[in-house]
A and B are shown apart, each in its own frame.
Chain A
Amino acid sequence: DGGITQSPKYLFRKEGQNVTLSCEQNLNHDAMYWYRQDPGQGLRLIYYSQIVNDFQKGDIAEGYSVSREKKESFPLTVTSAQKNPTAFYLCASSSRVSSLNIQYFGAGTRLSVL
């Protein structure tokens, strides 16, 4: 089945620790996105990538880093510089073959601070 796989489902971070959230897609989509969702709020864009080996900062990139070495994979690292990382993180992908920007989402990773 085609889709987007995020792991882990739950993640706990200790003070000063970097953690990496995984996102893999087998939809052959060129574009991938990372969003942060806080309770009762909409989605805020952290980083996005339109092609392999290229990515751009979104609205709230500070304290986060990404890589895009393969088309299928777009991992997000939450660094110790992100002082308030507790949130629900969603990865998405899209293809503009049909000129639409429908984004398909993974199941999400819920990150908490110990």
Chain B
Amino acid sequence: ELKVEQNPLFLSMQEGKNYTIYCNYSTTSDRLYWYRQDPGKSLESLFVLLSNGAVKQEGRLMASLDTKARLSTLHITAAVHDLSATYFCAVEWWDSNYQLIWGAGTKLIIKP
């Protein structure tokens, strides 16, 4: 059974600082997804990482995947208040059909 762990689960930081969210998973998978959820809202796809060494960047967010270490990171550079949200990673897994197995989410609060 595939397990996905995110840490930290909660992060409060000041604007302008850098920080990294970690996503570890327990079984081999080559595909990992990052999503963002604003309070009380739905989930929005941020990044899809398809292979070992994949790196994707959008604005102040950069995601990377190391399939050998079973680790993905979401790095925030010079954080701004608008990035406050909960961030989820999800790992693709085959069990008679493709499914996404979700981490618990990292709630990020960025203070002005």
Contact = CB atoms under 8 A, between A and B. Distances in A.
Specify whether A and B are partners. Answer: yes
Interface of A: 40-45, 48, 50, 56, 58, 90, 92, 96, 100-108
Given A42-B88, A43-B102, A56-B97, A101 B31 contact: yes
B42 A102 contact: no
Interface residues of B, number: 24
A48 B88 contact: no
A106 B44 CA distance: 10
B57 interface: no
Q: Shortest 8 CB-CB distances between A and B: which pairs?
A: A42-B102, A42-B104, A105-B42, A43-B102, A105-B43, A107-B42, A101-B98, A102-B45
Contacts of B42: 90, 105-108
A42 B105 contact: yes
Given A56-B96, A106-B42, 20 more contacts: A40-B9, A40-B105, A41-B104, A41-B105, A42-B88, A43-B88, A43-B102, A48-B97, A50-B97, A56-B97, A92-B43, A101-B31, A101-B100, A103-B33, A103-B45, A103-B100, A104-B45, A105-B43, A105-B44, A107-B42
Interface of B: 4, 9, 31, 33, 41-45, 48, 50, 88, 90, 92, 96-100, 102-105, 107
Contacts, number: 52
